[in-house]
Structure 1
Amino acid sequence: MIHKIEQKLKEMLDEKRYIHSKNVLKAAIELGKNFNFDLEKIKIAALLHDCAKNLRDDELLIKAYKYGIIVDEIQKIQPFLLHGPVGAYLSKFEFGIDDEDIFNAIYYHTTGRKDMTIFEEIIYLADFISIDRNFEGVEEIRKKAFENFEEALLMSCNSTLTYVINRNLPIHPLTIEFRNWLLMKGGK
Structure 2
Amino acid sequence: MGYSRYNREELIAAVSAGMPSKRWKHVEGVMESAVLLAERYGADPVKADLAALLHDLAKFWPIEEQEAVIRDNGLNTELLRHDKQLLHAEVGAFISQRDYGVEDEEVLDAIRYHTSGRERMTLLDKIVCLADYIEPGREFPGVEKIRELAETSLEDALIAGFDSTISFLLEKGKPIFPLTLLARNDLIVNRTKPREAE
Fold match by TM threshold 0.5 = yes
Query: Is 1:2 the counterpart of 2:8 in the alignment?
Result: yes
> 1 CA distance for matches of 2:31 and 2:166?
24
- Give the corresponding residue for 2:190: 185
Deviation at 1:77, TM superposition (A): 4.5
- Give the corresponding residue for 1:136: 141
* Dislocated runs of 4+, deviation >4 Å: none
> 2 CA distance for matches of 1:132 and 1:51?
18
TM-score for both structures, normalised by structure 2: 0.90
SS at match of 2:138: coil
- Give the corresponding residue for 2:75: 69
Q: Which residues of 2 match residues 85-104 of structure 1 at below 5 A?
A: 85-104=90-109
Question: Is the Cα–Cα contact under 8 Å of residues 2 and 43 in structure 1 kept in the other structure?
Answer: no
Per-residue CA shift, 1:75-100, capped at 9, x if unaligned? Answer: 33422211100000011112111110
TM-score for both structures, normalised by structure 1: 0.94
Q: Which amino acid aligns with 2:120?
A: D
Question: Is the Cα–Cα contact under 8 Å of residues 76 and 90 in structure 2 kept in the other structure?
Answer: no
How many residues end up aligned between the 2 structures?
187
Per-residue CA shift, 1:55-84, capped at 9, x if unaligned? Answer: 122111011112211211x63342221110
Question: Is the Cα–Cα contact under 8 Å of residues 92 and 98 in structure 1 kept in the other structure?
Answer: yes
- Give the corresponding residue for 1:39: 45
Q: Which residues of structure 2 form unaligned runs of 5+? A: 1-6, 194-198
Q: Which residues of structure 1 form unaligned runs of 5+? A: none
Question: Is the Cα–Cα contact under 8 Å of residues 23 and 131 in structure 1 kept in the other structure?
Answer: yes
Query: How big is the alpha-carbon RMSD for the aligned residues of Structure 1 and Structure 2?
Result: 1.4
Residue 153 (structure 2) aligned to one of 112, 128, 148: 148
Residue 164 (structure 1) aligned to one of 160, 169, 172: 169
SS at match of 1:102: helix
Question: Is the Cα–Cα contact under 8 Å of residues 60 and 80 in structure 1 kept in the other structure?
Answer: no
Deviation at 1:18, TM superposition (A): 1.1
Identity %: 34
> 2 CA distance for matches of 1:123 and 1:38?
12
